[in-house]
Amino acid sequence: MTIAYWISPDGEIIEVKRGSHIAEVIANPKKFGFTREFIEFIHTHYDERLGLEGKARRQLMRVLFDNNWIRIRQYKHLWSINVKKDEGKLNSYLNQWASKIIKGLHGFIEKDPYVSINIDQRHKDLKTVELKSMAADITFIPAHMLIEKTIEELPNIKPYNFINGIMTHSIE
């Protein structure tokens, strides 16, 4: 079993409990600024079944990244992070996440402080850093500002105003 998290635009760390990030989004669309109908519409547009890890998933993920959500997944010998930009408050959220995962986060402790973290940002080359160096970076958001929450504790988000332009950025 791999460990996975979402970090909300407000810095709330959400453990992914349903196995995949998209499954968490589909199960809790309002927590991510979507409606169930919109998620179904995107899947129908791409002629994909709900939850399939295909073009509809990539489209929904792009919307989340554009709205400053951060996706984190542990793999066998590394962590993978998807983020729109590794700068500003999002960078601080990543620094704080790294500090927390070394000490313990949602019951998990990363025992290897030198494990590689691949940071995938849109329109930039893949960046690889060590967990320990990410945790040591200077931040301007105090640790208490990054809050561990369950998906149930996360407030519903007003739906994003993206429906008009989403198909102009669709994935082919």
- Looking at every residue in the chain, the average pLDDT score rounds to 84
- Show me where the domains of the chain are located: 4-169
Asked if residue 109 has pLDDT above 90, the reply is: yes
pLDDT at 87: 67
- What's the pLDDT tens digit per position in 110-159? 999 999 999 998 888 888 999 998 988 755 444 444 556 666 766 676 66
Alpha helices in the chain (DSSP H): 21-27, 36-45, 55-66, 88-103, 131-136, 163-166
User: How many angstroms separate the CA atoms of 158 and 43, rounded?
Assistant: 21
Asked if residue 165 has pLDDT above 70, the reply is: no
Q: Which residue has the higher pLDDT, 89 or 33?
A: 33
- Residues 22-26, mean pLDDT to the nearest whole number: 94
User: How many angstroms separate the CA atoms of 144 and 91, rounded?
Assistant: 15
- What's the pLDDT tens digit per position in 27-53? 999 999 999 999 999 999 999 999 888
Asked if residue 172 has pLDDT above 70, the reply is: no
CA 99 distance to own-chain centroid: 17
Q: Which residue has the higher pLDDT, 152 or 77?
A: 77
Q: Which residue in the block uniquely carries the two structure tokens 């509809």?
A: 56
